[in-house]
Amino acid sequence: MSKHQASARDLGIRFEGHLPSGPLNALTDVAGVKLGHVTLQGEGLATGVTAIIPGEGNLFRSKLRGAVDVINGFGKSAGLMQLAELGTLETPILLTNTLNVGTCTEALVRRALAENDDIGRSTGTVNALVCECNDGAISDIRALAVTQEHAAEALAKAAPGAFAQGAVGAGTGMTAFGFKAGIGTASRVMEIGGERFTLGVLVLANFGPAGQLMLPDGRRPHPKDLAEREQGSVIVILGTDLPLADRQLQRVAKRAGAGLARLGAFYGHGSGDLSVIFTTADRVEHDPATPFAPQRRLSDDLIDLAFRAAAEATQEAVLNALCHAPGTQGHSRYYPSLADWLKENQQ
C-alpha cells in the first residue's frame, strides 16, 4: 500500500490549456456547498457514505434548480425521475453502495420530515436523491453495513472547504480502470460578462476496464492484469453558481460524458454512468410569494465555456480519485494505486 497519496497535479499530470481551477480545485469552491464522509472499514467492509449539501438553509422550502443526464442507465439510484421532470433538488445528495440506496433514501426522508411538519400532510412528499456504485469487488456488499445513522453522520459532518479524496466515504471500496479509485474532485473558474463563476465536480469513480485509461499526455497506465469487462459505474455531481435555465443545466450535465470519454471510457453495457447538476443561482421557493419569479439565464452563445468547464473538471476529478486512492486487496485480486504507477513511470 502506498504511504502517501497526492493529487494528479502533485504527481506530475499536466492539464495544459485548461481553464483555471478554483482555490481548492474542488466542488466546495462553489459557495454554500458542503461535503462530509463516513467510512466503514475492517471485518470485510470497505464502504461508506458521502454527503453533499448543495446549498444553505432548508432545501425543501427553497429548492435548487438542477438536472440529470443518464449516459448509461445500468443503475439503482433514487430520485432521478422527478429531478429530470421538475428540475428541482430538494434534499442533500447521498452517495453510497448499490444495496444501501434504500437505507440512505429513508435517512434523507426522515431528515426532511424533521425539518418540515407539513410534508405528507398539507403539502406534497419529498424527493430524496441517492446515487450508487457497486463496491462488491472489495467490500462485503451483502452485509448491508451502511445504516441510517451513518447517513445522518455524514450529513452532520458536511462542511465547506477541503475534504478527503480517494478511498473514503462512498469511494472506500471503488475501483476504476483496474486501479483503486473512489472519490475525486476538481473545479474550473469562468469569466463571463465581467463576472466570475465557478463550476465544481465530484465523482464517485468505479468504472473502466483495465488497460483503457488514457492520461492527458497520451500514456495508458496498465495495472499488469488481464483486461476485464466494463461493468462498473460512475456518478458525476456538478455544482455551479452560474445562472442557467433548466434546459441549459441538462446540456451542461451531458458534457461530463466528454470528460469521461477523454479518460478512455466507452460506457459499457454493464456500466451505470450518470451526471447530476445543480446551480445555487435563482432558487425555487416551495411557497412562492407571487405567481411569477424572475430568473437569470446565460446566453446560449456563451454556454461553450460551461461545457468546457464540465468536461475538464470531470476528467481531472476522476484522475484525482485514482491518484488519492491507495493500493488495496480485493476479493479476488489486488487493485494497485495509480500514484505508484506514476512514480514508477516518471517521464
For the chain, give percent helix, strand, coil, nearest 5: 25, 30, 45
DSSP string spanning 173-201?
A: T-EETTEE--EEEEEEEEEETTEEEEEEE
Catalytic residue among 2, 233, 275, 337: 233
Using DSSP's 3-state secondary structure scheme, residue 260 falls into helix
Extract the C-alpha cell encoding 32: 454554500
Q: Are 347 and 215 in contact (CB under 8 A)?
A: no
- Residue where the block lists cell 488519492: 324
* Mode of pairing for the β-strands spanning 328-329 and 272-285: unpaired
Extract the C-alpha cell encoding 45: 467492509
Look up residue 198 and give its amino acid.
T
| Residue 273 among the catalytic residues | yes
d(CA 224, CA 215): 17
| Residue 77 among the catalytic residues | no
d(CA 284, CA 57): 13
Extract the C-alpha cell encoding 47: 464502504
Q: Spell out where the chain has E strands.
A: 34-42, 45-53, 62-73, 88-89, 93-97, 129-133, 175-176, 179-180, 183-192, 195-206, 233-240, 272-285, 328-329, 334-335
d(CA 266, CA 73): 13
* Mode of pairing for the β-strands spanning 34-42 and 129-133: unpaired
| Residue 271 among the catalytic residues | yes
- Residue where the block lists cell 472547504: 161
Catalytic residue among 271, 275, 337, 340: 271
Using DSSP's 3-state secondary structure scheme, residue 113 falls into helix
Catalytic residue among 273, 275, 337, 340: 273
- Cα 225-201-39 angle, rounded to 5 deg: 65
Q: Active-site positions?
A: 233, 271, 273
